[in-house]
Amino acid sequence: MALQSKNKVDSSFSMSSMTDIIFLLLIFFMLTSSFITPSGLPVNLPSSETTDIILQEVTVTITKDLRFSVNDRVVSREQIKAELGPLLEGKKGQVVLHIDKEVPVEYLVEIGGIAAGLGANVSIATKPY
């Protein structure tokens, strides 16, 4: 006598929940990867014990061979104030200084003073130990 079960087992697997998880992970990584914007010029940043990630509105980069750039646009030392002025005009902006660790401190103070004089908050980019 052959016994047959009334309940059939469905062996298919629903992928809808798996695709939801994959899309959520994709969205998460796309959003978090846009928070860190690398500077255009190669700079060897100094090390610091505390490194905070902040939203970079305006970046000023100085390489060890004293090339200056504002938001990845190479400018001369005399043009920095003229470049920063329109970017910071009418708002309290954030200026992040990407300065090579071999650059003399006088350049850091000069650029930081220009940015602070235009009403910006000035931060120095560092890398963790």
Q: What is the pLDDT of residues 71-80, one digit of tens each?
A: 888 999 888 8
Runs of H (alpha helix) within 7-104: 16-33, 80-88
Task: Name 70's Cβ contacts closer than 8 Å, sequence gap at least 6.
Answer: 58, 59, 60, 61, 80, 83, 84, 87
Of 58, 69, 67, the C-alpha closest to 123 is: 58
Give me the CATH topology for the region 47-128: Nucleotidyltransferase; domain 5 (3.30.420)
pTM over 0.75: no
Q: What is the pLDDT of residues 52-95, one digit of tens each?
A: 666 667 889 999 899 999 888 899 988 888 988 888 887 778 88
Strand partners, 35: none
Residue 37 has pLDDT above 60, yes or no: no
- Any idea where the domains of the chain sit in the sequence? 47-128
